[in-house]
Amino acid sequence: MITLYEQATSGNCYKVRLVLTHTGRAFRRVEVSARDGSTRTQEFLARNPIGKVPTVEFDDGRPLGESNAIMLHFAEGTALLPADAYDRAKVYEWLFFEQYSHEPMIAVRRALFLYEERRHLATPERLAQLMEGGNKALSVMEGRLAAAHWLAGNAFSIADIALYAYTHTAEEGGYDLSSFPAVQAWLARVAKVPGHVPLEA
């Protein structure tokens, strides 16, 4: 059985739970976290030298890290990853957008409020910078979703899962989603896809 090493409150880990659930795979969950040092043990670093969750371990013991890499692997051959070459490339584009321009703003700002040990990093300058960058990312999503139901191609894909994970918790980071009505409507659509499960805190 697949083992998912995760921190349950992490949106990056939630992505992996969603893709495993949507593709009907059995998995067991092991809670590890930078917060208690359990991602810094020699045993964990052998699985993932950067010490990050999510990390999965396959039946044969081989590990894989990076949430969006894990999603691409499990989505291969399913409806969550388009067969059309251009639509597929657009999925890739949204996945890299998510990790470079969205998560480092929207997930990071949420973490400054959510995790007590990070609160000293929440300076007014940092909060303002993250607000500006996050709103820019949300604007890019709004532009697409005002004209289309899904982020890449014509169907729900791992691009939607990747962006849903932290967009649906953006208000915990202080973002105001009422300025992004197409994003709000899309969040509701994603939550209605059969097989959807909530983020368990």
By CB under 8 A, tell whether 132 contacts a second copy.
no
Among 99, 174, 182, 196, binds a second copy (CB under 8 A): 99
By CB under 8 A, tell whether 35 contacts a second copy.
no
Shortest Å, Cβ 30 to a second copy: 19
Helices (H), 35-157: 42-47, 67-75, 85-97, 103-114, 124-145
By CB under 8 A, tell whether 85 contacts a second copy.
yes
By CB under 8 A, tell whether 70 contacts a second copy.
yes
- Interhelix angle 181-191/124-145, rounded to 10 degrees, is 70
Shortest Å, Cβ 86 to a second copy: 6
Stretch that binds a second copy, among 18-26, 29-37, 140-148, 187-195 (CB under 8 A): 140-148
Identify which of residues 146 and 185 has a Cβ nearer to a second copy in the complex. 146
Among 22, 90, 109, 110, binds a second copy (CB under 8 A): 90
**Nearest CA among 198, 197, 11 for reference residue 98:** 11
Token pair for residue 194?
A: 């059969």
| Three-class DSSP category at 147 | coil
How far lies 173's CA from each of 10, 12, 108, 136, 166, in Å? Answer: 13, 16, 8, 15, 10
Contact between residue 10 and residue 54 where contact means Cβ atoms under 8 Å apart: yes
Residue 184 is which amino acid? Q
By CB under 8 A, tell whether 133 contacts a second copy.
no
By CB under 8 A, tell whether 83 contacts a second copy.
no
Stretch that binds a second copy, among 14-22, 70-78, 115-123, 180-188 (CB under 8 A): 70-78
**Nearest CA among 29, 25, 24, 26 for reference residue 55:** 29
d(CA 41, CA 136): 37
Among 3, 33, 38, 101, binds a second copy (CB under 8 A): 101
Q: Locate tokens 């983020």: which residue?
A: 199
Secondary element (H or E) of residue 195: none
By CB under 8 A, tell whether 170 contacts a second copy.
no
Interacting residue ranges for a second copy, rule: CB under 8 A: 49-50, 58, 62, 64-70, 72-73, 76, 85-86, 88-90, 92-93, 95-97, 99-101, 103-104, 136, 139-140, 143-144
